[in-house]
Amino acid sequence: MINIALYLNEEGKIKQWPGQYQKRKALMEYLITKFDDRIYTEQEVNDMIKQWYLLDDYVMIRRYLIEFHLLKRTNDGREYQKYDN
């Protein structure tokens, strides 16, 4: 188990982005737990990320959620939802 506490503030929000791949993945696995099991619009996904990620690049985080197969989207990019893991 990777300790991600160093990257979170006292409210559990991501305050720092790690350089190491495995730590990034662990942070994304943490972040996806903040999403409900429902369909989201792109704007809703962005808003969720901004709520839990205190740095600027929410688009990068959305891409990582997709790359790590934690979040999937429709071909047109209009709807997003968690993978059934």
**Phi and psi, residue 81, nearest 5°:** -160, 160
Say how far apart CA 17 and CA 83 lie, in whole Å.
23
Closest CA to 10 of 65, 49, 54: 54
Strand-strand pairing, 40-41 and 71-73: unpaired
User: Which helix or strand (DSSP H or E) is residue 62 part of?
Assistant: helix 58-67
For 40-64, write each residue's pLDDT tens digit. Answer: 999 999 999 999 999 999 999 999 9
Which residue ranges form the domains of the chain, and what is each CATH number?
A: 5-82 (1.10.10)
pTM > 0.75: yes
